[in-house]
Amino acid sequence: METLHKNLTSRAFNGLVHHRLVIAPLTKDVSSINRTYRHKIDAVAKAKSNRDWGHFVSLHEKPYRLDALVAATKYGLKEKPSEFWELLGRVWIDTENAHQHPKKWRQLWTETTEGRRACMSDEDLRIFDSLPEQIEVWRGTSHKRGHAGLSWTRDREMAVFFARRLCYGSRVPLLAKGIVNKIDVLAYFGERDEQEIVSMKVSVISVTESKDVLSDAARNSSISIGELCAKDSNCKN
């Protein structure tokens, strides 16, 4: 019987292969995992050679696409400003763990490469251009330093949802309220109805613990308290 590829053995644990190119359940028959890995190794090399950075990044599994984007930037992606920003926007929208890599994301968002508007869709640009000069924003988190994140929302109830999504153990969901000047907004993303504001310069006005947040959410949403605590979502805390 075929054994797991040697480059994957150190990435196999708890019944799962978790590699930058392959994330899959580990079964007795590993031939399909090996086949996928070999195919992607060749495809990544070809994409890099052809400077096809969008394909290069997408070949990586979702948790590793930020690192792939950083690598592509070093390999020459910044030479194509529109492509750089468009790809950054795609990876950002798709990410679920931006809070784990704040330094990398801050470095990318502060690139001096021109054309940052390309990270937004036409509809998002229309809304971005219509934003007021000062914007009230909200952020839901479950740890005390969470209000320092880049991802905020104009929708208080969306922030409430994120504040409650990790309500287990000793965590205390928090709701931060802030104000940001439009000039300091890096991007606006409306996908998934999150009304997301990306900024590093939000002035935090207040941080509220979850007791008030929970009652507000239960009163103003059709989602039950249990569903509010259990429902999953792509969170950028």
Are 90 and 134 members of one domain?
no
Both 144 and 108 in a single domain?
A: no
Which of residues 53, 84, 118 is at a domain's end?
Answer: 118
Residue 168's pLDDT band (boundaries 50, 70, 90)? low
The whole-number pLDDT of residue 139 equals: 94
Residue 85 pLDDT exceeds 80: yes
Is residue 2 in a domain? no
- Identify whether 63 is part of a domain: yes
DSSP helix, strand, coil percent of the chain (3-state; round to 5):
50, 20, 30
Q: How many CB atoms lie within 10 A of CB 120?
A: 23
Helix axes 65-75, 102-109, angle to 10 degrees: 40
How many domains does the chain fold into?
2
Q: Which of 55-69, 143-157, 203-217 has the lowest mean pLDDT?
A: 203-217
pLDDT band at 165 (very low <50, low <70, confident <90, very high): confident
Owner of token pair 């492509």: 83
Q: Does 158 or 219 have the greater pLDDT score?
A: 158
Q: What is the pLDDT of residue 100?
A: 85
Q: Which domain holds residue 133?
A: 122-230
* Runs of H (alpha helix) within 8-155: 31-49, 53-58, 65-75, 81-94, 102-109, 122-130
Contact present, 4 and 23 (Cβ < 8 Å)? no
236 in any annotated domain:
no
The overall average pLDDT reported for the chain is 87
What pTM did the predictor assign?
Answer: 0.84
Domain boundary among 70, 99, 118: 118
Q: What is the average pLDDT across 47-75?
A: 97
pLDDT band at 219 (very low <50, low <70, confident <90, very high): very low
Kindly state whether residues 127 and 214 are assigned to the same domain.
Answer: yes
Same domain flag for 108 and 56: yes
